Amino acid sequence: MSNNSFDEFIEKQSSSGQEIEIDWSKKLNEWEKYLSNFYGLVEDFLKPYVESGKLKIQKSDIELQEEYIGAYTAQELLIRIGKNDILLKPIGTNLIAAKGRVDMIGPKGQVKFLLVPKESSGPKIGIRILVEGESSAPEDKPAIVTEWAWKIATPPPRISYVELEPESFQSALMEVVNG
């Protein structure tokens, strides 16, 4: 390996290390707002049942820990229907392919709610293979997301996103209670 190759290596490593600074405090504030909006949707979906006394909703604080963000307090939501407890537990915001995740956990299962680009119908995965000595293709710039929406993720292996509406939420809730 010549000195030139080493110089090129150092140059490439130095330039690839210059990344955009992430404002983690801003990211956490956004996450808290989206989480609050999610719980607002859930409360709206269930409002007639709460008002009639057929189910109860209770919020409580939990401690979450995320890489780069650190420890913070968030709320989880407990839905009590008869003897069944269903927990809406926030997982976090520092995720791959989603801006946030909340898991619905019931006695017979679990459903994942993801905060994803509004137009998205499922996760998008790209693969690029380079053979040694081949020059790399120009990087595709990721699309800038302007609108986010909460959606229900179907189980793997063929994950797709279901629009979050009263009926889809109620179906998810029945799934985690009845299996």
Residue 1 has pLDDT above 50, yes or no: no
Confidence band, pLDDT 50/70/90 cuts, at residue 138: low
Q: What is the pLDDT of residue 124?
A: 81
Instruction: Answer whether 79's CB lies under 8 Å from 173's CB.
Output: yes
State mean pLDDT over 60-75: 96
Q: In the chain, count of helices (H) and strands (E)?
A: 3, 7
Confidence band, pLDDT 50/70/90 cuts, at residue 132: confident
pTM, to two decimals: 0.81
Query: Over the stretch 85-130, which tens digit does the pLDDT of each residue have?
Result: 999 999 999 998 899 999 999 999 999 999 999 999 998 877 777 7
Q: Which residue has the higher pLDDT, 53 or 16?
A: 53
For the beta carbon of residue 32, count every other beta carbon within 10 angstroms.
17
Residue 18 has pLDDT above 70, yes or no: no
Domain residue extents for the chain: 23-120+145-178
Closest CA to 160 of 114, 104, 121: 121
Computed over every residue of the chain, the mean pLDDT equals: 89
Q: Which residue has the higher pLDDT, 176 or 128?
A: 176
Query: Over the stretch 140-166, which tens digit does the pLDDT of each residue have?
Result: 666 677 899 999 999 988 999 999 999
